[in-house]
Structure 1
Amino acid sequence: MEQSTVIFGIRAIIEAIESGSTLEKVYLQKGLRGDLFFQLDKLLKKGKISTSVVPVEKLNRLSKHNNHQGAVAKISPVEFANLEEIIEDTLSSNKTPLFLVLDQLSDVRNFGAIIRTAECTGVDAIIIQKSGSAPVNSETIKTSAGAAFKLPICKVDHIKDAIFQLQAADIKLVAATEKTEDSLYDIDLNQPIAIIMGSEHKGVSNSILKMVDYKGKLPLLGEIESLNVSVACGAFLYETIRQRM
Structure 2
Amino acid sequence: MEETTRIFGIRTVIEAIESNKDIEKVFIQKGLSGPLFQELNRHLKDGNYNISYVPVEKLNKLSKGNHQGVVANISPISFVSLEKLVEDSQNSSTTPLFILLDGLTDVRNFGAIIRTAECCGVTGIIIQEKGSAPINADTVKTSAGAVFNVPICKVNHIKDAVFHLQTYDIKMIAATEKTDDLVYDIDLKQAIAIIMGDEAKGVSNSILKAANYRAKLPMLGNIASLNVSVACGAFLYEAVRQRI
Question: Counterpart of 1:155?
Answer: 154
Task: Count the aligned residue pairs.
Answer: 243
Matches within 5 A, 1:224-239: 224-239=223-238
Q: Which amino acid aligns with 2:63?
A: S
Q: Which amino acid aligns with 2:58?
A: K
Deviates more, 1:27-36 or 1:91-100: 27-36
Runs of 4+ in 1 over 6 A off after TM superposition: none
1:92-116 deviations in whole A, cap 9, x for unaligned?
1111100000001000000000000
Question: Counterpart of 1:62?
Answer: 62
Where 2:214 maps in the other structure, the secondary structure is: strand
Question: Counterpart of 1:241?
Answer: 240
1:59-116 deviations in whole A, cap 9, x for unaligned?
112111x111100001100000112111111111111100000001000000000000
Question: Counterpart of 1:112?
Answer: 111
Query: d(CA) in 2 for partners of 1:32 and 1:204?
Result: 38
Where 1:190 maps in the other structure, the secondary structure is: coil
Deviates more, 1:26-35 or 1:41-50: 41-50
Give the drift of 1:160: 1.4
Query: d(CA) in 2 for partners of 1:212 and 1:141?
Result: 30
Question: Counterpart of 1:32?
Answer: 32
Q: For structure 1, list consecutive stretches of 5 or more residues without a partner in the other structure.
A: none
Query: d(CA) in 2 for partners of 1:51 and 1:98?
Result: 32
TM-score under structure 1 normalisation?
A: 0.96
1:138-189 deviations in whole A, cap 9, x for unaligned?
1100000000001100000110121122011110000000111111111111
Where 2:76 maps in the other structure, the secondary structure is: coil
1:48 aligns with 2:72: no
Where 2:72 maps in the other structure, the secondary structure is: strand
Question: Counterpart of 1:8?
Answer: 8
Query: d(CA) in 1 for partners of 2:217 and 2:74?
Result: 37
Query: d(CA) in 2 for partners of 1:183 and 1:126?
Result: 23
> How much is the aligned-residue C-alpha RMSD, in angstroms?
1.3
Give the drift of 1:36: 2.2
Q: Percent of counterpart pairs with the same letter?
A: 67
Q: For structure 2, list consecutive stretches of 5 or more residues without a partner in the other structure.
A: none
Query: d(CA) in 1 for partners of 2:34 and 2:170?
Result: 48
Give the drift of 1:41: 2.2
Deviates more, 1:76-85 or 1:2-11: 2-11
Where 1:210 maps in the other structure, the secondary structure is: helix
Q: Are the counterparts in 1 of residues 4 and 136 from structure 2 also a CA contact under 8 Å?
A: no
Query: d(CA) in 2 for partners of 1:88 and 1:10?
Result: 37
Query: d(CA) in 1 for partners of 2:4 and 2:62?
Result: 11
Query: d(CA) in 2 for partners of 1:45 and 1:215?
Result: 38
